[in-house]
Structure 1
Amino acid sequence: MILGVAHHYAADAVETGLPDAAAARRRLSENDPGLVPRLEAAGARAAGPAPGTADLRRHVDAAVLGLARLGLRHGHLGGDLHDYHCETHVMEVAERRLGHAIDALGHAWLPAADWLALFLFSACHDLRQRESFDPPGPVGGNEAASIAETFRILTACGFSEVADRDTFIALELMIAGSTFDARPLPHPEAADLATAAGGALARGLGLWLDGERPDWASDPALRRGERLGRLAADLDTANVGESFGHLADSALRLCRERERRAGRALDRAESGPPCLGFLSRGQLAYFFELHRFASREGERVYGPGKLANGPGVRRVSAALLQRFETSPPASGQAVLDAFAGLAAAEDG
């Protein structure tokens, strides 16, 4: 719509199989009857004390459809389970992280429409995870495809690109901004791209827009979308400032997902070194180098938790490396088990 990336990605069989919110509700209820009520409660919390019933319904319908499609594509409803990018991540953002931000800041901190946009982001930002190409520019292929599908979800749930332009733009910029560059710093392109500084694109999205659309700041919808994109990125990566147990759990889930996607069985020796690297040096790089808060709200809500977690991340990473210093891990699962034990001791 604004970035011009969505047109590269067409609907797939999952979209055809779950065309609307009614079908999504049926599918989710068959698998886990509690998911839809939980998502409805999270939507109501975002809407606040005086929601417009029809508008809340559209937002919840879109979130339910997004959750069900992700569950079928990469979650527990289908055959390509991603341990991190599945229904679990949607619910931790929609319920725990967004809910905590609302409690910490107060619902009046943002208009209800902004909280609801962040609620929709939680359900739709990771819809696609296996795209084979990236569009031109810094937005990732998974994110661009997720934007395209989110536009179709909004339309299927009664949103109009004309009447609800602000919603479409906000979701486009929020999902684009969630593109996360996990390459070590600095990487070769860093000298050429202002946005290639590692971590979430949201921190540099305004700079990129300055070059691509120099007049963007004169459009209130784009200014709102860019601002919400920074807060959305902070919610997406808020594990850094949650309890140490939640931080460790997200690392374990991501590690399992990486190994599954790489085709390395966790009970085999070949998965040992990559798991050890990811759960030790990889966590240090993510926590201390790649992650930076992109919004004042994110830093206010989750900054103190990140500050408290920092020493524990260093201790657990050092202890994990020491555990396997004299002999390599027998398997990736051995590394995961060791990391889990060290993290539990730290959290306790």
Structure 2
Amino acid sequence: MILGYSNLYGPDAIEQALPDAEAARRLVDRHRPDIVPRLEAMVARITSGAGDRRHFEAALLGLARLGLRHGAFGDDPHDYHNEDHVMELAERRLGRVLDTLGEEGVPREDALALLVFAACHDLRQREPFDAPGPIGGNEASSIAETFRILDRCGFDPVADRAQYLALELMIAGSTFDPRPLPHPDGEELATAAGGSLARSLAIWLDGDRPEWSAEPAARRGERLARLAADLDTANVGEDFHHLADSALRLCRERERRAGRALGRAASGATCLGFLSRGQTHYFFELHRFCSREGERVFGARKTANGPGVRRVTERLLARFEDVPPANGQAVLDAFAALCADEAP
């Protein structure tokens, strides 16, 4: 489509092992028999009971491949980027968007695109090289694989160009840069650095592919990219126990990928940094809502969560001020206990 990443990242062994929705369903039913009915229920809700085989199969195939590649279905388990992350976006967060905005706020085709985004935006987590520009290699390779999933599930790149474009820009916009914005207090000064790329995706496209905005489907895709980014980072605006759980899962995943066992002393300092100052940095400096819709759905809860995030950080640092943590697990346990005190 407009970014041109399809030829940069080819199929891998996981795609060959799960070539279609039938294979995906067999795998998911074997490991998590609860997931297929839950996905079917979301599709039924979005379509007022009519169903949509193609979008359901695309979401199922994406979830199954992620689960086999990086989740509990395979041998490279990630604590955060896995099949449960798909479902928290596709079910709990998208459900909340639909509850708040209704069908007028999120038309059927948009909601179905968001469902497939939930399943496909994190398909790849270990890409060795990035794509040109600000889009991460994991996201660019996930775009390429998502296009192949759409092809396999009966979509046509010409007739269904709007959905291909939407998913391309939604996944691109989910690139998350942990660097702070150069001007965190000036919304008009946002650049491609800091937080979700979706906030500045249009700016980058204007400079790199100025013809993009002439196509209505691309403008729709950019708009959906901003809402999709808010869906992806909506932990800030969920109940406090969900926010805490996401931080714990991300911390475990970071330590696992770095090769630091939580029971060893080497993980103590990194876990403490991530679960204290790292959380306030993410919550107050990096995260910005990318869409008016996302802020409407999740903004009030984020505001309510803010004081608790600060208190947990202060108390966690105080807990280990005199005696450093023995290991990472000690930090995780302390963080979980402090968050439990904050949760209503």
Using the size of structure 2 for normalisation, the TM-score is 0.96
Matching residue within 299, 321, 328 for 2:317: 321
CA distance in 1, matches of 2:331, 2:118: 30
Q: Which residue of 1 is the match for residue 19 of structure 2? A: 19
Structure 2 letter corresponding to 1:108: E
Deviation at 1:44? 1.9
Alignment of 1:92 with 2:94, yes or no, is no
Q: Distance in 2 between matches of 1:50 and 1:271?
A: 49
Secondary structure at the aligned position of 1:294 is classed as: coil
Which residue in 1 is equivalent to 2:153? 157
| TM-score scaled by length of structure 1 | 0.95
In the other structure, the counterpart of 1:275 is 271
> Is 1:295–2:291 an aligned residue pair?
yes
Alignment partner, residue 304 of structure 1: 300
Structure 2 regions of 5+ residues with no counterpart?
A: 184-188
Q: 1:50: how far off?
A: 6.0
Q: Which amino acid aligns with 2:203?
A: L
1:181 corresponds in structure 2 to 177
Q: How big is the shift at 1:154?
A: 0.3
Structure 2 counterpart of 1:190: none
Q: 1:200 is matched with which residue?
A: 196
Do the aligned residues in 1 keep the contact of 2:192 with 2:201 (CA within 8 Å)?
A: no
Deviation sequence 1:134-163 (CA, Å, 0-9, x none): 011000000000000000000000001011
Q: Aligned partners of 1:140, 1:85: CA distance in 2, in Å?
A: 15
Match of residue 233 from structure 1: 229
What amino acid is aligned across from residue 12 of structure 2 in structure 1? D
State yes or no: 1:78 paired with 2:77.
no
Structure 1, unpaired ranges of 5+: 188-192
Matches within 5 A, 1:223-262: 223-262=219-258
The one-letter code sitting in structure 2 at the alignment partner of 1:297 is E
C-alpha separation in 2, matches of 1:291 and 1:110: 23
3-state SS of 2:7 partner = helix
Shift of 1:42: 1.6
In 2, are the aligned partners of 1:9 and 1:148 still within 8 Å (CA)?
yes
Q: AA paired with 1:336?
A: L
1:45 equivalenced with 2:42 (yes/no): no
Work out the CA distance in 1 between the residues paired with 2:191 and 2:143.
19
- Residue 34 of structure 1 aligns with an amino acid whose one-letter code is D
Between the aligned partners of 2:284 and 2:37, the Cα distance in structure 1 is 37
State the 1:346 CA deviation.
0.4
- The CA distance in 1 between the partners of 2:78 and 2:53, in whole Å, is 29
Match of 1:211 in 2: 207
Deviates more, 1:133-142 or 1:5-14: 5-14
Counterpart of 1:229 in structure 2: which amino acid? A
Q: Any conservation in 2 of the 1:194–1:208 contact (CA below 8 Å)?
A: no
**Cα distance in structure 1, aligned partners of 2:190 and 2:133:** 11
| Superposition deviation, residue 95 in structure 1 | 0.3
Give the C-alpha shift of residue 183 in structure 1.
Answer: 2.5
CA contact (8 A) 2:67 2:83 kept: yes
Tell me what 1:115 maps to.
111
* Residues 113, 183 of structure 1: alpha-carbon distance in 2 compared, 3 angstrom cutoff: same
Task: For 1:36, give the aligned amino acid.
Answer: V
Distance, in Å, in 2 between the alignment partners of 1:6 and 1:320 is 45
What amino acid maps onto 2:312 in structure 1? V
Q: Which moved more, 1:194-203 or 1:329-338?
A: 194-203
Check the 8 A contact 1:138/1:195 in 2, yes or no.
no
Query: C-alpha separation between the residues in 1 aligned to 2:137 and 2:6?
Result: 10
What is the aligned partner in structure 2 of residue 34 from structure 1?
34
- For 1:255, the aligned partner's letter is C
1:220 aligns with 2:216: yes
Q: Contact 2:94/2:115 (CA < 8 Å) preserved in 1?
A: yes
Match of 2:340 among 324, 339, 344: 344
2:181–2:190 contact (8 Å) kept in structure 1: no
CA displacement, residues 206-235 of structure 1 (integer Å, 9 cap, x when unaligned): 001101121222210000000000000000
Equivalent residue letter for 1:73: R
1:265 aligned residue: 261
Q: Is the 8 A contact 1:280 1:317 kept in 2?
A: yes
Measured on the aligned residues, the alpha-carbon RMSD in Å equals: 1.3
Q: Which secondary structure does the structure 2 equivalent of 1:106 belong to?
A: helix
Mapped contact 1:84–1:250 kept (Cα < 8 A): yes
Residues paired across the two proteins, number: 339
Structure 2 distance, partners of 1:268, 1:308, is 35
Distance in 1 separating the partners of 2:244 and 2:220: 33
Call closer, same or farther: CA 1:258–1:317 in 2, change over 3 Å.
same
